[in-house]
Structure 1
Amino acid sequence: MAVAPVTYPFSASSSSITAPAARRRRQQATHALPAAREPPRAGGAAGAEERTRRGKEAEVDDEEAERRRKEEVNRKIASRKALSVILRREATMAVLDTRKPGKGTRRLLPRTVLEALHDRIGALRWDSALKVFELMRDQVWYRPHIGIYIKLITMLGKCKQPEKAHDLFQAMIDEGCAPNLESYTALVSAYSRSGRFGEAFALLDRMKANPGCQPDVQTYSILIKSCLHAYDFEKVKSLLADMTRAGIRPNTVTYNTLIDAYGKSGRFAEMESTLLKMLLEDCKPDVWTMNSTLRAFGSSGQIETMESCYEKFQESGITPNIKTYNILLDSYGKAKMYEKMGAVMEYMQKYYYSWTVVTYNVVIDAFGRAGDIEQMEYIFRLMKSERIKPNCVTLCSLVRAYGRAEEVKKIKSVLRIVENSDITLDVVFFNCLVDAYGRVEALAEMWEVLDLMKERQCKPDKVTCTTMIKWFLIKGIDDHRVQYLRELKAERHKDDM
């Protein structure tokens, strides 16, 4: 796909900005059947043969109908039995959270308990998962298994519960399960995800001292990723040097993590040198490498470099995915290169790339920035017709666009969408709402946003306070409300320190 040379009008009258390709199914041709003709009447022997033949056909039809009827009855019976089993299992799993180890709870079905534990781990419901695990340990059939411990420790790390992860690690040892590389790595991840680098690096040293648990590329990659999230690039350099001394070569995941972090922080020289090192070490880039690189250059406005990288990655045999095209759309939209953005949309439509919520959000935001409210609303209606649920990002784009267009009624229509849905709102949405009301000089409504935030259990941050103070002062208002906002801003500043 050569994006650059294709031109495409990005306007409300554009004919090809229609439903996504996934909804465009080819209509199957219908063929008219010839009219049924009444068979000729026959008499004598020929007529008798014809009647016999018809009788046999009728018997076959009756047998077929009876067979189908029995199949339908059996299917309904099987369906009822299956539903009964499912309901019983769900009822059992529902009470597992409230039941405590003790009399009458030691002979629960292994499959039910394991399914309950697996579901809670997958949903990151760590408190409930630990209760089910405690119940499991009390069963007569329970035997310690290191794999279950590793899954639980990994879950606790994702939930930023490093102390509980350590307690579980110790319980695993107490039950006779010898720690292995995977369990140590899970605990290292738990500490590093929470920013507890002292404990994480101490564990790394313990692993080095244990011949059977030497850290591998996954252990280092997890630590590197956590350090990059904390913008501690010095620790990253130390870890990479440590890997070199140990003879551990970074893999594609390690390099992708580095490229993505360097790109997001604007460290393009380090990003490019990492990509070059990746190629020199014969570590093949993948679509994640391509997406991280394109996102870095595109978000910084380096469109020509982004396009050049896109062509080179494709020439190396890497196939773009939906995320790739979302990145291109977003980059072109923010650069106001609407013709190229339209070309990408046309290409996606032509080659049947189904739009995701991210695609819709990018396009809605682009139309909103361009001030094309009519087309933005059309895409939003299309999104709902495709049964793709809007999220907080969608609503932020709508509110920002309506604020710029000074459409007070339409800002309130977004709030009605919120009232009639279960969309989770964050402080960014409320900050957009505050700014939009300020732009249209609806200061009373802007002040009421604080009450709305309280209802939604969302605390105002420094941006909320600063934005509201700005619009009050622009209107020449410096009363008790502004003083309250200044005090609230000072409190938030202390909380952040």
Structure 2
Amino acid sequence: MALRMMLQTRFLSLRLQVRPFSSLYLPILEPSNDAESISKILLHHYNPFHAMESSLQLHGIALTPQLLHQTLLRLKHSTKIAFALFNYSKSLPSQPLTPTSYHLLIDLVAKVRQFDLAWQLIIEMDQSNLSPTPTTFLILIRRLISAGLTRQAIRAFDDIEGFTQTKTSDEDFCFLLDTLCKYGFVKVATEVFNKKKQGFLPDTKMYTILIYGWCKIGRIDMGEKFLKDMMGRGIEPNVVTYNVLLNGICRRASLHPEERFERTIRNAEKVFDEMRERGIEPDVTSFSIVLHVYSRSHKPELSLDKLALMKQKGICPSVATYTSVVKCLCSCGRLEDAEDLIGEMVRNGVSLSAATYNCFFKEYRGRKDADSALKLYKKMKEEGLCTPSMHTYNILVGMFLKLNRMGTVKDIWNDMRESGVGPDLDSYTMLIHGLCEKQKWREACQFFVEMIERGFLPRKVTFETLYRGLIQSDMLRTWRRLKKKLDEESITFGSEFQNYHLKPYRR
């Protein structure tokens, strides 16, 4: 999954030069001892029934805008605490609030689907003379689309000009189309494009986004239709356009039996030929897409041969390229060859990624080789090879849950917390379900409550699994206490929580 996400990021959003969400003028995590101290104080000592200022004033901390931003970033998995800190900052004589502060909090609350609160913050910005900008709305739009609320997202896009008194740009329009396509709403994106394109200037970027969207849902025919349409309008495709089409042809193609694999490679070569006919040379991404096909087909020799061909043509493999080959070698049980390739990456100055190491962890998980997984994990941490990703932690937590190594699960979970990477909704869901399977109800309830307090709305299946398990185990009183906690928090989750009606369970 992590490899696929990394490849999609490189192959598809692909230097489209569409403004990515991460660069919507939001700050990034930077080293800050004060921010680390504040976040740890709040995470360990926050009490919703006592004033926040008591814990902060005891440590003599003065909030500046930069410090507030960095602290909010560190509280991204604890929305309630982040919101409490934000409200506390309003009471300070010298308020550290800026438009960026609001943008960060809007992103945090919208991520956990508290959209009413996000709108309240936008209105509050307007009333506080911190005028909302198109960026404010694009942050919200991205989160609305990710939640499947496309109509609300389009209405929010239409509200930009009224709220900000700023005309939406071609770049803003591209962002809307790109986000719709990224989350699979390509038909909606096409309707929006056809309806609004008169107000914008269609170009290679917009068409490439739509080609990407249709290819993403497996409609290669529609992707090719848009390619012909753009060329018919005199708009020239570029290498990114062809890479998007190439990836569409290869990404979901069935590769078994052998005839399907060969057909996919032939179709890919046709795209290469058309690129060259138009004077466009395939680049590292083009080759990486085909390499990923070899990887999926478990053809290590062809993968290594294609990698060698790239080098002969003077094309430097990227981390995604190497990771495809590493994944292929690992899945075929050739771990030593994969380790040699890691060494080559280091020698060539290619930065290692967590996705590369996840290939090894997945193979160890399949083999139930706990010792090798732990050895590699410790090596990653101690030698600073790269920071484990959320997916890395989730693979390891899931693996050791299955092996009933609860002490190791606890250690990895604590590492994940301390690193600031997580846990996220998937982490909590996996851990709670794993504890329920082992009938560790006390621990499951503990993490369930913690999950809610951090602002994550558990999935309905998690509610039902815990509910049935507690009733079957004659722990009705525990469920009642848990249900009371849920009812107390229902305001936080708004209307979405109201849909979670649990039917009485009959044993």
Question: TM-score normalized by structure 1?
Answer: 0.58
1:86 aligns with 2:64: yes
The alignment partner of 1:319 has SS state of: coil
Aligned to 1:223: 210
Indicate if the aligned counterparts of 1:124 and 1:159 stay in contact, CA closer than 8 A: no
Question: Which 5+ residue runs of structure 2 have no aligned equivalent?
Answer: 1-60, 73-82, 255-263, 452-457, 466-471, 474-507
Aligned to 1:201: 190
Kindly report which structure 2 residues correspond to 1:163-174, keeping only aligned pairs within 5 A, or say none: 163-174=151-162
> CA–CA distance in 1 between the matches of 2:299 and 2:431?
27
> CA–CA distance in 2 between the matches of 1:139 and 1:173?
19
Aligned to 1:137: 126
> CA–CA distance in 2 between the matches of 1:427 and 1:402?
14
Aligned to 1:321: 318
Aligned to 2:409: 415
Indicate if the aligned counterparts of 1:392 and 1:424 stay in contact, CA closer than 8 A: no
Letter matched to residue 395 of structure 2: C
Pairwise CA distance, 1:335 = 1.5
Pairwise CA distance, 1:332 = 0.7
Letter matched to residue 424 of structure 1: P
Kindly report which structure 2 residues correspond to 1:56-455, keeping only aligned pairs within 5 A, or say none: 84=62, 86=64, 90=68, 112-120=97-105, 125=110, 127=115, 130-139=119-128, 142=131, 153=141, 156-157=144-145, 160-174=148-162, 177-193=166-182, 195-208=184-197, 210=198, 213-266=200-253, 268=264, 269-351=266-348, 353-367=350-364, 369=366, 373-386=370-383, 388-389=387-388, 391-394=390-393, 396=395, 408=403, 411-417=405-411, 420=414, 421-422=416-417, 423-424=422-423, 452=444, 455=448
Letter matched to residue 337 of structure 1: R
Letter matched to residue 319 of structure 2: I
> CA–CA distance in 2 between the matches of 1:257 and 1:294?
15
Pairwise CA distance, 1:419 = 5.2
Question: Relative to 1, partners in 2 of residues 1:297 and 1:452: Cα closer, same or farther, differing over 3 Å?
Answer: farther
> CA–CA distance in 2 between the matches of 1:354 and 1:205?
42
Question: Relative to 1, partners in 2 of residues 1:185 and 1:159: Cα closer, same or farther, differing over 3 Å?
Answer: farther
Question: Relative to 1, partners in 2 of residues 1:249 and 1:241: Cα closer, same or farther, differing over 3 Å?
Answer: same
Letter matched to residue 68 of structure 2: E
Letter matched to residue 334 of structure 1: S
Pairwise CA distance, 1:329 = 1.5
> CA–CA distance in 1 between the matches of 2:223 and 2:326?
32
Question: Relative to 1, partners in 2 of residues 1:346 and 1:286: Cα closer, same or farther, differing over 3 Å?
Answer: same
Indicate if the aligned counterparts of 1:224 and 1:236 stay in contact, CA closer than 8 A: yes
> CA–CA distance in 2 between the matches of 1:194 and 1:366?
29
Q: Percent identity?
A: 17
> CA–CA distance in 2 between the matches of 1:228 and 1:88?
41
Letter matched to residue 295 of structure 1: H
TM-superposition CA deviations, 1:324-371 (whole Å, max 9, x none): 322222111111233422321332344455543223322333455567
Indicate if the aligned counterparts of 1:329 and 1:341 stay in contact, CA closer than 8 A: yes
Question: Relative to 1, partners in 2 of residues 1:417 and 1:264: Cα closer, same or farther, differing over 3 Å?
Answer: farther
Indicate if the aligned counterparts of 1:162 and 1:190 stay in contact, CA closer than 8 A: no
Larger Rg: 1
Pairwise CA distance, 1:160 = 4.4
Aligned to 2:15: none
TM-superposition CA deviations, 1:104-135 (whole Å, max 9, x none): 9xxx98x9432224434676846465444323
Pairwise CA distance, 1:198 = 4.5
Pairwise CA distance, 1:415 = 3.1
> CA–CA distance in 2 between the matches of 1:262 and 1:336?
28
Aligned to 1:20: none
Question: Relative to 1, partners in 2 of residues 1:429 and 1:355: Cα closer, same or farther, differing over 3 Å?
Answer: farther
> CA–CA distance in 1 between the matches of 2:193 and 2:314?
38
Q: Say which is worse superposed, 159-168 or 392-401, in terms of deviation.
A: 392-401
Question: Relative to 1, partners in 2 of residues 1:353 and 1:129: Cα closer, same or farther, differing over 3 Å?
Answer: same
Q: Say which is worse superposed, 122-131 or 372-381, in terms of deviation.
A: 122-131
Question: Relative to 1, partners in 2 of residues 1:252 and 1:413: Cα closer, same or farther, differing over 3 Å?
Answer: farther
> CA–CA distance in 2 between the matches of 1:95 and 1:400?
36
The alignment partner of 1:214 has SS state of: coil
> CA–CA distance in 1 between the matches of 2:240 and 2:107?
22
The alignment partner of 1:348 has SS state of: helix
Letter matched to residue 138 of structure 1: Q
Question: Relative to 1, partners in 2 of residues 1:188 and 1:380: Cα closer, same or farther, differing over 3 Å?
Answer: closer
> CA–CA distance in 1 between the matches of 2:103 and 2:357?
33
TM-superposition CA deviations, 1:245-264 (whole Å, max 9, x none): 22222223322223333322
Letter matched to residue 297 of structure 1: Y
Pairwise CA distance, 1:243 = 1.7
Indicate if the aligned counterparts of 2:397 and 2:409 stay in contact, CA closer than 8 A: no
Pairwise CA distance, 1:234 = 3.4
> CA–CA distance in 1 between the matches of 2:225 and 2:105?
37
Indicate if the aligned counterparts of 1:395 and 1:429 stay in contact, CA closer than 8 A: no
Indicate if the aligned counterparts of 2:400 and 2:406 stay in contact, CA closer than 8 A: no
Question: Relative to 1, partners in 2 of residues 1:428 and 1:313: Cα closer, same or farther, differing over 3 Å?
Answer: farther
Question: Relative to 1, partners in 2 of residues 1:431 and 1:86: Cα closer, same or farther, differing over 3 Å?
Answer: closer
